Amino acid sequence: MQFTPQQLVGAGRYSATTRIGNWNEDLMLEEARMKDYRAQKQKGGLGTVYRRKMEQANGRVPVSYWDDGFLRYNSYVVVEHVQTSGSLASDVWEETFTGSGEYVVSVGQRPPHATARATFLLVGPSERSSGIVKYGDSFRLMANEALRVDLTTNSLLPPLYLRSTLKSERAMSPISSHQNVTLSPVTDNSTLWVATKGDASGAEKFLATSTPISTHDNVGLVHKMTGILLHADAKYVIATDFGNETEVCCATMKNHSKSFNLHHERQGDRSADMHAKETQSPNLWRLALGSSPGAAEESRALPAPATPAIVLDLIVDALTRTSVFHVRALVHSLQAIDAKTTGLMEREDLKWAIKALESSSGKAALRDDQYDVLLSALDEGKKGFIRLTAFIDAIRGGSLSPSRMALVHDTYDGLTGAYGDVTLNVLRQAYDKGCEKPFQTIKSKPINFLTLWTTQDPARLVSLHEFVDVYKDVSRAIADDSMFDQLLKNAWGEMKKDPMLLEMFAVERIQNCARGLMSDTDTSVRTAALRVLRYSMINCASTAQAIKLVPILHLFVSRSMERDAKLVGERIQALKVVRRLMDIDASQVPTSVVRSVVAIANHKEDNLRRVALETLRELAIANVSVVMQCNGIKTLVDCILDPTCQDLADALLMTIMYLINEPANRNLIHSFVNVQVLLAPLTDTDTPAGTERRQRWTASRNAIVMMMRSWTGILIMTANPQGLRSLVRMLEQPVGDDVKKVVLATICDIFYTHAPLDKNGNDVDRSGDSIKGASSAKQHAAAVLSTHAQTNLLDNYMVMVLLSLGHCGLLQALVSLGTCANRTALAEPAIELLSEILHLSARLLPDQHCAMLLALPQLVATTAYSQVDYLADLQTKPPEDRLQRERAIRSSEMLAELAHAVPYFDWHS
C-alpha cells in the first residue's frame, strides 16, 4: 500500500479521515452494488434470488457409504471440524472480491443431513485416480456439482476446488491475516492436499503413511504446495448470508514442546525430542462418510456434462435467436476462409468468429469452458488448430431428413421447371425477401440471404448440391418441419391460384372442407387450412360466403395469430387471411381480428410486430371506424415515438394526418391524437439521460417538423393551447442546455433554416460566425426586396408558421437566449434564427404584423436601460442593479448585431 510523505514521517495532521489506498475504486464498487440492489428491488427479485440461493445451497445431496469405513477417490464426504463441531461449507455466490473468480469457504454449523454446500467430492490428482485414499496421497476437494448448475443454459459450470496460495500483502485471509483459502476453478498444484494422522506424534505419525484413511480418524489436511495445515479457529468469525461462520485459512498451530534437542538430551539438559508434533485442535478435521447405504442414494437431477454435441446445439440456439440465417452466415464465412487458406484455423480465432454472430442475439453467451469442450474434441493433433471442414460438418449435424430433403428437391425442381437453368439471377428473380421477417427479430441486423450462396457469379449455374447445402445450414436452425416447409414456400412461391382447381371444386365446398381443420391439434394442419381459406377468398361473394359458412371464423383466425411465437407458420397464414380480407372488402373485417392485430402491434418483442403495424395502418385508411373501436389509433400514435419503429414513423404520422384531414373522421380520431404525447420527450425533463432519451428526442423532433410542414399538422399543433406554446416555453425554462439545443434545432428545421446544431442537438458548429457580416446581409436583403410580389403557396404556408410561432412567444424566447448571462453556445444560433425570422416577417407579413414583430419591445426596453446616466459609482449599487446593467449591455450588443443583419429596420422607418 502507498503512503503519503506526511504519513511516513508521522505528521500530526494524519487522522482516520485521510483517504489512502484504492478508495475511489471501493466507492465505485459500492455505487455499482447499490445500483444492482435497486434494480433487483424494483423487479422484486431480491427475495427470489435469496430464496433460490438457500434452496440450492441447502438442498439434500448424497454422501458416499463404504462398509469398511475407508475413504476412496470420487467419494462424497463431509469435512467436519473437530474444534467447532461444524463442517467445511462453500458459498459459490460470494466472490472474495469482484472479478476474482474465487469464492468464499468457511466452517458453518453442520446440518442434520448432507447438503450441497457442506458436501465435497474427493477426487484424485488425475482422472485415472481410483481406489482407497491413504495417508500421504494427494487429492483435491471439489465443491458439490449441485451448486454449479447454470439455470440459463441448463448445463454444469466449471468445477471449483479448495485452493490456497502463499501469503502476500495482496493475498491473505481477511480476518486472521493467515494464508488464504478459497474455492477456485484452477487445477494446478495449489489445489492438492495431503492427509496426515492428527491424533499421533513422533514415529507413530510417520509410520501411518501409506495406511488407509478411516472416516473415524482425526486428520490434518496439509496444503501440498506450501506444507501448511488447513486451519479454522472459533475466534475468527466471518459474516455470510448463512449467518456468522468461522473463517477458514492455512496456518499450522504448534504447542510448547521442544524439538531438535538430541545434543541436550544426551547431556540430560533437555526433555526427549518431539520432532513430529501432535496436530492441534484448530488443524484437526474428520472426513465423514454416510452412516447407512440409504445416504448414498442419488436424488439430484443434474444436467448432463457438456459434450461436443450439446455445445453444438447451444451454439446453434445462440445463433438462431435473432435469425435462422446466422448458421448459414457462419458456414459461408468459414468456407470463404477455407478457400483462401490451408483449411486450418486457430482455436481462439474460430471461437471469436462464432461469438461475433452470437453476440447480436443480446442473450447470455456461451462460456469459454463450453467452447473448450467442443474445440478440444475437434483439435486432432492438440496443436491449437481446427480443420474448418470438420467444424462445418459438425455444426450441420449430418444430412437432411428424408422429408426435408424431398421438400428441397421439389423446390429446386420447381425453379428448374419455371426458369430453366438455375443461376444467381434466377434466384434473385424468384426469391421473396418478405419471408425473412417472420424468422428474425427486430433487433437483428438484416441479412441478405442471396449473398450467403457459394456461387456469386450472376450467370453461373447453381447446382442441386449447392442448393441442398445452403438449406442444410438453414434447416439446422429450424426444429419444426412445418416451419421449414413454410419458409421454402414463402421464399420461392407456390401455386396459389390454380384456375383448374377452382373450376373442378366449388368455393363453398373448399371452404367447407377447411372449416373442420382449423381446430385440429396439429399446427401444420391448421396452417394448411388457413392457406386454403385464403386462396378461396377471391372476391366479395366468396369472402361473404366464408364468413357465412364459418360463423366463428374470426375466432379461429384470432386464435392462430395469438399462438406461441414458435408457431410462426400458422401466425403468418392467419395474418395473410386478414390482409386478403382487407384487400377484398375491409368493411367485413371483424373487431376481434383487429384486436388481435393491435395486441401484436403493441408487443415490442413479437417478430410479427412490424407486419401487424403495417396491416393496422392500411386498415385505418380503409376502415377507420373498426380501428378506432379497437383502440388502434392510439397504438399508431405511440409507435411514432418508439425508437424501434422509426423507419415506419413517417408513414404512421402521414396516415394519422390524412385521416384527420377528412372532415368525416375528425370527430372519430381527434381525441386519440394528443399533441402533448408527441411533445412529451422534449417537455418532460424528468426522463433520465441515456441512449433511449436521445432516440425519443429524435423521434419527437421528426414528428413535430413533419406536422409543422403540413396544413393539417399546423392546425393540430396550434389547436391545443398547451401544444406548440409549451415547446417554445422550453427555451425560457431553467432546463439543461441539451434540451434547449434540441428544441432550437427543431424550430430551425421548421423554418428550413440551417442551424449550427447536429441532428440530435448535441453540439454547436463553431466553424463560422452566427452572423455572416453586414455585407452578406445587405446582399441577401437586396435579393429579397427585388423579388416580385406574386402569390405563392409556400409563402402562405410560411406566413402561418410565422404567426403560429410568434403567437406562442418565440421571439421573446430567442431574445432571452441571445441575452443570457453566460453567453452560452445557444446564443449564436438564437440570434441567427431571430434574424432569419425578421427577414421572413419583413418580406411576407402585412405592415401591421411586421411592425409588431420588428419592434422587439422586450429587447428595446432592456437596451434603453443602458442609456440612463448610471455609470457613476456603479460598484456601490446593489447586485440586482449591476445584473440589470450587464443584461442591458448584452441586449445592446444583440440589437447592434440584428441591425447589421436585418436592414429592414430602415426600410420600415
Q: What is the pLDDT of residues 680-726, one digit of tens each?
A: 777 777 777 777 778 777 887 787 777 777 777 777 777 666 667 77
Q: Give residues with Cβ within 8 angstroms of 439, minimum separation 6.
A: 323, 324, 325, 478, 487, 568, 607
- Assess whether pLDDT exceeds 70 at residue 376: yes
* Most confident region among 207-216, 547-556, 768-777 by mean pLDDT: 207-216
The span from the CA of 716 to the CA of 710, in Å, is 10
| Lowest mean per-residue pLDDT among 95-99, 371-375, 501-505, 521-525 | 501-505
| Lowest mean per-residue pLDDT among 242-256, 736-750, 812-826, 873-887 | 873-887
pLDDT at 122: 94
The span from the CA of 277 to the CA of 484, in Å, is 74
Band (pLDDT 50/70/90 cuts) for residue 372 is confident
- Assess whether pLDDT exceeds 80 at residue 63: yes
The span from the CA of 132 to the CA of 70, in Å, is 7
**What share of residues in the chain are helix, strand, coil (percent, to 5)?**
55, 10, 35
Selection from 435, 456, 461 nearest residue 325 by Cα: 435
Q: Helix 810-818 vs helix 879-901: angle between axes, to the nearest 10 degrees?
A: 110
Band (pLDDT 50/70/90 cuts) for residue 492 is confident
| Lowest mean per-residue pLDDT among 525-534, 536-545, 660-669, 759-768 | 759-768
pLDDT at 759: 43
Band (pLDDT 50/70/90 cuts) for residue 213 is very high
pLDDT in tens, 644-672: 777 788 888 888 878 877 777 766 665 55
Q: What is the pTM of this model?
A: 0.47
344 CB neighbour count, 10 Å cutoff:
16
Band (pLDDT 50/70/90 cuts) for residue 225 is very high
* Most confident region among 517-526, 546-555, 659-668, 770-779 by mean pLDDT: 517-526
Q: Are strands 193-197 and 219-223 parallel, antiparallel or unpaired?
A: antiparallel
| Lowest mean per-residue pLDDT among 45-59, 373-387, 543-557 | 543-557
Greater pLDDT, 281 or 762: 281
The span from the CA of 485 to the CA of 577, in Å, is 19
The span from the CA of 838 to the CA of 845, in Å, is 10
pLDDT at 8: 58
Phi, psi of 576 (to 5 degrees): -65, -35
CA dist 257 to 201, 202, 270, 272, 776, Å? 12, 12, 11, 10, 103
The span from the CA of 611 to the CA of 595, in Å, is 15
pLDDT in tens, 593-637: 888 888 888 888 888 888 888 888 888 888 888 888 888 888 888
- The residue whose grid cell reads 489512502 is 20
pLDDT in tens, 129-179: 788 999 999 999 999 988 888 877 777 888 999 999 999 888 899 999 999
Give 176-179's long-range contacts (Cβ < 8 A, gap of 24+).
Answer: 176/233, 176/236, 176/247, 176/249, 176/251, 178/231, 178/249, 178/250, 178/251, 179/223, 179/226, 179/228, 179/249, 179/250, 179/251
pLDDT in tens, 560-569: 888 887 888 8
As a whole number of Å, the end-to-end CA separation of the chain is: 78
Phi, psi of 661 (to 5 degrees): -65, -25
The overall average pLDDT reported for the chain is 76
Average pLDDT over residues 566-580: 85
With a pLDDT cut of 90, the percent of the chain lying above it is 14
pLDDT in tens, 12-55: 554 555 656 666 777 787 788 777 777 766 655 556 677 888 88
Angle at 808 between CA 806 and CA 810, to 5 degrees: 55
With a pLDDT cut of 70, the percent of the chain lying above it is 69
Selection from 477, 529, 538 nearest residue 503 by Cα: 538
Average pLDDT over residues 255-282: 62
- Assess whether pLDDT exceeds 50 at residue 587: yes
Structure-block grid coordinates of residue 291: 452412516
555 CB neighbour count, 10 Å cutoff:
16
Phi, psi of 400 (to 5 degrees): -70, 155
Selection from 80, 113, 251 nearest residue 175 by Cα: 251
The span from the CA of 476 to the CA of 483, in Å, is 12
| Lowest mean per-residue pLDDT among 291-305, 388-402, 689-703 | 689-703
The span from the CA of 459 to the CA of 873, in Å, is 91
* β-strand partners of 193: 139, 223
The span from the CA of 117 to the CA of 95, in Å, is 15
pLDDT at 794: 66
